[in-house]
Amino acid sequence: MEKKLSYKGPVVLVVMDGVGLAPDGDGNAVKKAHTEFLDFALENYLNIPLEASGEAVGILKGDMGNSEVGHNALGSGQIIKQGIAQVEDYFTSGKIYEGETWRRLIDNVVKNTTSPKPKTLHFAGIFSDGNVHSSISHLERMIERAAKENVEKIRVHLMIDGRDVPPQSEPKYINRLEQFLEPFNESGKDYKIASGAGRMVAVCDRYENDWNMVKLGWDMMVGGVAENQFTSALEAVETFRKKDPKIQDQYLPPFVVVDENKNPVGKVEKGDSFIYYDFRADRAIEIAMSFTYCDFPYFDRGAYSPDDVCFAGMTEYNSDTHVPALTLVPPIKIENALNTFLGKNNISELAVSETVKFGHITYYFNGNSYEKAPLEEQLKVESDTLPFNTRPWMKSAEITDLILDNLEKYQFIRVNFPGGDMVGHFAELEPTMVAMEAIDLSLKRIAEKVDELGGMMLITADHGNAEEIADSNGNPKTSHSLNKVPCIFYDNTENRAKYYSKNLKDAGLSNVAATLALLLGLDNYPKDIWREPLISIE
């Protein structure tokens, strides 16, 4: 049995979203920022670097981590095969085409039409090979299979990336898809790109921060309406680049592809099938709600009814409400999450962040569930809707105020500071430095109160980003990194001398849950399910 620790004050878990460990360099905004507290903590307290990408968080080897899988690992204490790794298994085995959902989607457009005009199979999702939300290879494989099953008409709607891949790389993906579609069209099929928009402009809102983004995407795909019309997706991107050579793909305006008569080539119409092929939920759930909810208050869908379109997601985007009902890959079930364990042990807990990462520190941390444990509370600060590089401090101060107001009320507090990730995605040095400096000031404020109360603070991250906002050639890098993340045991109590690092060879985010259990004085954590703690107690 482990020896037990006991703190007078709270144990605080701080997730510095998107803050990894890397040597100093031109693209390392973490090192370049003035972060007096963080620098001191890294030098003077136990720090155990953690793996936060690839197989350590249940995805493919060599793939960058992300906030979803990172928080799943932190909160579940387990390495769960998920995201692209799970989906790849379904494609490789062919199980994705054997399920009832695929059959319904295909039969809906092939067998159930009484009109001479063929019904359309639509695809939409974040369009790249970034493998964080989706993969273009999944799109290609489904198109190829649909062709074999006699689907005559396919339309693709592009949620243009430039965030998990280089910021101006979109022409490469458009050309790849156009070349892929060409043989099908030569054989008599009708397969086209129908519309597109930057992922930070249309469709891909998250946590209901800006439903207007979703409406813009709805109007583009379903209404065939956008301010910009072009004869091809490539023409759209080239035109936008001429107007603003620096514009990143993720901010490209919505556009609709039209024919020679200026008619949209691919509106979503009654009787069609629609596959949203993202396997990550946070930027997919709202468009899924738009297509599937009967009672829908967020914007006017016109005469649309959920019965009009056979809609499916790559997987389930909300495990509590089971949205969407039709999925190509069954949802992951995560049991024995940390919050549930703490609830069973009568530990009071609080989760805090701002809107853009609130779902990560709650839903994903709690094993893909919105259900709160006994004695668990969650507090949210509303995020700005303007670009985060224009206010890179984000809501760090407001989040900190909430924590300071509640530190004495809870035994365990977890918080996510989004700035390293949300500002880091712009790949701009000065704003990302400011984001880090705002987080550093917040850490210092929390630390002072934690010391006063006799508690401790575990400071880590869910993945890297801000430490690598330029590649080896100095080009802007908007995607996450493969770097390890810190795990700092900020502790000025007598307990600090009672524990030491186990020096685990494969220490990763999933070792944090058991570590927190020990710090909270609990040695009855599920040892047969959770990965072992990072520390031993003397």
Number of H helices, E strands in the chain: 16, 15
For the record, the structure tokens of 290 come out as: 């738009």
- Return phi, psi of residue 10, to 5°: -80, 160
Taking alpha carbons only, the member of 394, 446, 386 closest to residue 424 is: 394
Phi/psi class of residue 124: alpha, beta or left (left: φ > 0; alpha: ψ in -120 to 50)? Answer: beta
Residue 489: which residues within 8 A CB-CB, separation 6 or more?
A: 45, 46, 47, 48, 456, 458, 496, 499, 535
Q: What are the C-alpha distances in Å from 513 to residues 3, 372, 529, 536?
A: 17, 17, 11, 14
d(CA 393, CA 404): 18
Beta bridge partners of 100: none
d(CA 531, CA 510): 6
Phi/psi class of residue 192: alpha, beta or left (left: φ > 0; alpha: ψ in -120 to 50)? Answer: beta
CB burial string 446-468: b at 16+ within 10 A, e below: bbebbbebebbbbbbbbbbbbbb
Beta strands in 62-188 (DSSP E): 121-127, 153-160
Q: What is the CA radius of gyration of the chain?
A: 24
67 catalytically annotated: yes
Could you count the other beta carbons within 10 Å of the beta carbon of residue 187?
9
CA 75 from chain center: how many Å?
15
Cβ–Cβ under 8 Å, residues 284 and 133: yes
Could you count the other beta carbons within 10 Å of the beta carbon of residue 485?
27
Residue 116: which residues within 8 A CB-CB, separation 6 or more?
A: none
Cβ–Cβ under 8 Å, residues 221 and 122: yes
For the record, the structure tokens of 205 come out as: 């809102």
Determine which one of 67, 135, 195, 369 is catalytic.
67
| Residues with a known catalytic role | 67
